[in-house]
Amino acid sequence: MFLAFFTERDERQVLMDENFFTGYRKTDALHDEILLSIHIPYTSKDEYMYGYKQSRRRGDDIAIVNAGMKVIFRNESDIVQNLVLVYGGMGPTMVMASNTMKVHI
């Protein structure tokens, strides 16, 4: 996923990865940047993504815990080629389950 930011000086694209969120409600965006667009690519044939959010109320914007998951299988098989597991709500930034991701590939 890429984010496009715009300023009077220039435009830049930022990969939204584990480095984008730098602290609680803080991001890699510069103070004078405006978010211009969000690019979410289509998934491929053997790629699956899922997002999960648990909050106190359905309309509550603050999550107690959330998760994002992506798995890519080898072509037409059940063998995991790539796995991404990310959890939020447990600290000031999101946490990637790196050890779990390595074990399952």
The model's pLDDT over 2-44, given as tens digits with 9 standing for 90+, comes to 999 999 999 999 998 888 888 888 898 999 999 999 999 999 9
Say yes or no: 24 and 72 in one domain: no
Strands 34-39 and 2-6: antiparallel
Is it the case that residue 96 has pLDDT exceeding 80? yes
23 with 62, same domain: the answer is: no
pLDDT of residue 25: 83
Q: Which residues sit opposite 26 in a β-bridge?
A: 23
- For the entire predicted model, the pTM comes to 0.74
78 and 103: one domain? yes
Same-domain status, 37 and 47: no
Residues 77 and 88 in one domain: yes
Same domain? 20 vs 57:
no
Residues 59, 28: one domain? no
**Residue 46: per-residue pLDDT:** 95
- What is the C-alpha separation between 34 and 5, in angstroms, rounded? 5
| Distance separating alpha carbons of residues 70 and 42, to the nearest angstrom | 12
Is residue 75 domain-shared with residue 60, that is, in the same domain?
yes
Q: Could you report the per-residue pLDDT of 53-83, keeping only the tens digit for each?
A: 888 877 767 778 899 999 999 998 999 999 9
Residues spanned by the domain of 37: 1-41
What is the chain's mean pLDDT, rounded? 90
- The distance in angstroms from the start CA to the end CA of the chain is 22
Classified as helix, coil or strand, 22 is strand
Domain count, the chain: 2
Q: Which residue has the tokens 């999960």?
A: 52
